Amino acid sequence: MENERFTIKRRKTRCCLIMGLCALILLVILAISLWVAFSHKQYNSGDSLKETIISRCQTFIQNNRTSSAYDCQKIWTVFEQAFVGKDPCNVPTDAYDSLINTIIQDPICNKMLFWSKTKHIVHEFTEKRNCFQTLEDTLLGYIMDGLTWCGKEGSNETFTTGCPSWNDCVNHTVKSFWNRASAAFAEAACGDVSAMLNGSIATPFTPTSIFASIEVKRFNADKMRSLTVFLVTQENDGKSCDDPSLKNLQKELDPKLKYSCVSVAKLLW
C-alpha cells in the first residue's frame, strides 16, 4: 500500500514538472515570436516610409506636370543620408542641405503663402482656391507633410516609431528638416507675398514660431514687394490688425517692403 501511494505521488510530481516545463517552453516561444514580430515591424517601418515618400513624389510629378528630371529614388537616397546612423536629437538643419539642393523648384512669385498656427485652415483655403502656394504645396513639402522619421546612432535603419517628440530636443530630426525647408521657401519669396496668421490666439505673430524665427528673417526686400497678412478670426471674435504682436512683425520687416493686414472671418470660406 505504501509503495502504491509513493508511486502515485511520484507520478503526480512528474506530471507537474512536465506541465511546468511545457508552460515554460510555450512562454519562451511566445517571447521569441513577439521579439521577431517587433523587430520585423521596426525593420519594415523604413521600407514603409520609403514607399510613402516615393509614391507621393511620383503623384506630385504626375498631378503638377513637373519635370521628369526629378528622380524620386534619388530624393529618397539623399533624404536618408541626412539622418540615418545619427542620434535623432543631433541632426542639425544643414544636414538637409543636399536634399534642398536636389529639389530646386522655381518660386511662383505673387502666390507664395506663409502661415502660422493655421495649418488646417490655410490648406482648406488653398484647396478651394488655386491661387496660392504654401510650402506644403511644393514637391518637398508635399512629400514630407505629416510624416515622422528618425535614425539611431550605430544603425543603418530608418525608424518611424520610437523617435523623440518635437519638443524633446533642439536638433530634432524632423524639426530640423522643416526649419531648413521653411528657410529655403522664405529665401525664394518674391513679388507680393501673403501670410495667414491665427487671430484667435493670444499672440498671432508668435516669436518662437517658424514664421517669426526663421521665415520672416529671410525675406529679401530685393525680391519682394509686399507682405499682406490675413488675420483669421472667428466671426466677431478674435484679434484685430492693431494687435501689438503684428506691430512687432512690421518692425521685423525691411522698410522697403509694403505691409498690409486684412482681418478675415473664417466663415467667409
Dihedral sign, CA of 141, 144, 145, 151?
negative
Instruction: Give 33-71 as a 3 state SS string.
Output: HHHHHHHHHHHHHHHHHHHHHHHHHHHHHHHHCCCCCCC
Q: What is the pLDDT of residue 39?
A: 42
Catalytic residue among 57, 72, 163, 190: 190
Q: What is the pLDDT of residue 41?
A: 42
Q: What is the pLDDT of residue 117?
A: 96
Query: Would you state the cell numbers that stand for residue 3, as one nine-digit string?
Result: 509503495
Give the Cα separation of 212 and 252 in Å (integer): 9
Give the Cα separation of 146 and 37 in Å (integer): 26
Catalytic residue among 89, 109, 169, 241: 109
With vertex at residue 255, the alpha carbon angle to CA 208 and CA 219, rounded to the nearest 5 degrees, is: 50
Query: Would you state the cell numbers that stand for residue 202, as one nine-digit string?
Result: 493670444
Instruction: Examine the residue annotation and report whether 109 is marked as an active-site residue of this protein.
Output: yes
pLDDT of the chain, 269 residues: tens digit per residue? 545 544 545 555 665 566 656 566 666 555 554 444 444 444 346 689 999 999 999 999 988 876 567 899 999 999 999 999 999 999 999 999 999 999 988 899 999 999 999 999 999 988 887 789 999 999 999 999 999 999 999 999 999 999 999 999 999 999 999 999 999 999 999 999 999 999 999 999 999 999 999 999 999 999 999 999 999 998 766 789 999 999 999 999 999 999 999 999 875 54
Q: Which residues contact 239 (CB under 8 A, 6 or more apart)?
A: 199, 200, 201, 204, 231, 233
